[in-house]
Amino acid sequence: MRDFILNHSSDSIYTLGVIIGLLLIRLILTTTANKVGKRQGINLARVRLMVRYINFLMVFIATFLLMFVWGVKAEQLSLVFSSVFAVIGIGLFAVWSILSNITSGVIMFFSFPYKIGDEIKIHDKDAPLEGIIEDIKAFHLYLRTHEGELITYPNNLVLQKAISLVKKDAFVDDGSDSL
C-alpha cells in the first residue's frame, strides 16, 4: 500500500485537483442556472432539469480527465471514446428527434419568451393551436386548449413555428400538479 501511495502521489494530487476544479465549475454553473431561472421567472422543475444536464456534463468531463491523469494514453482514449460514440450514434440515429427535443429544451430554458401560465397561439399552417402553457418539459410543452384538451407539443417544433402571446399569465399556478 505504501509503495502504491509513493508511486502514485502525483496522480493522486492531480486527481484531487481535477475533482475540486470540476466541483467548483459545477457550483458556478448550477448557481448561474438558478440565478437565470429566478431572474427570468422560470419554473423550478425546468431549473432542476438544467442542473441534471450540468451534472451529466461534469461527470463526462471528469471521467475523461481522470482517465488521462491515471495514465491512459491518448490513443487508447480516442479508441474508447470513438467506439462508445459510434455505438451511441448508431443507437440514437433512429431517435434523433429525442436529441433535437432535448437541445430545444435547453435553448428554451435560456431564451423562450413565454412562461407557464401564458396563453399562446402556435401558427401552424395545418392546424393553428391556441391554449395555455401548463408545463415545459425536456421533450415537449403541455398546452391546455380552451376546450380542456391537453396537447403535448414537441420542443423542436416550438422553436420552428411562429408563436404569438394571446394573454400573459392566463392562470395562476397554485403549486398543485394536475398531471
User: What pLDDT, on the 0 to 100 scale, is given for residue 178?
Assistant: 45
pLDDT digits (tens, 9 = 90+) for 25-35: 999 999 998 99
Rounded mean pLDDT, 115-120: 89
CATH 3.40.50 fits 2-94, yes or no: no
- How far is the first Cα of the chain from the last one, in angstroms, to the nearest whole number? 55
The reply to whether 2-94 and 113-167 are identical in fold is no
In this structure, what C-alpha cell is assigned to residue 105?
429544451
Helix (H) or strand (E) segment spanning residue 153: strand 150-154
Q: How far apart, in Å, are the Cα atoms of 15 and each of 19, 112, 178?
A: 6, 39, 46
In this structure, what C-alpha cell is assigned to residue 78?
480516442
pTM of the full predicted structure?
0.53
Protein fold of 113-167 = SH3 type barrels. (2.30.30)
List the domain boundaries for the chain: 2-94, 113-167
Q: How far apart, in Å, are the Cα atoms of 73 and each of 64, 65, 67?
A: 11, 12, 9
Per-residue confidence band for 7, with pLDDT thresholds at 50, 70 and 90: low
Any idea what DSSP says for residue 177?
Answer: -
pLDDT digits (tens, 9 = 90+) for 121-148: 999 888 888 999 998 888 888 999 999 9
**Buried-state track 132-155, b at ≥16 Cβ within 10 A, e below 16:** bbbbbbbbbbbbbeeeeeeeebbb
Nearest residue to 170 (alpha-carbon basis) of 123, 115, 127, 124: 115
Give how far the C-alpha of residue 48 lies from the chain's centroid of Cα atoms, to the nearest Å.
Answer: 9
Separation CA 179–CA 135 (nearest Å): 9
Rounded mean pLDDT, 68-88: 76
Give me the chain's average pLDDT, please. Answer: 82
Instruction: Return the axis-axis angle of helices 9-39 and 96-111, rounded to nearest 10°.
Output: 60
Any idea what DSSP says for residue 10?
Answer: H
User: What pLDDT, on the 0 to 100 scale, is given for residue 1?
Assistant: 59
Q: How many other CB atoms are there within 10 angstroms of residue 25's CB atom?
A: 14
pLDDT digits (tens, 9 = 90+) for 8-26: 677 778 888 989 999 999 9
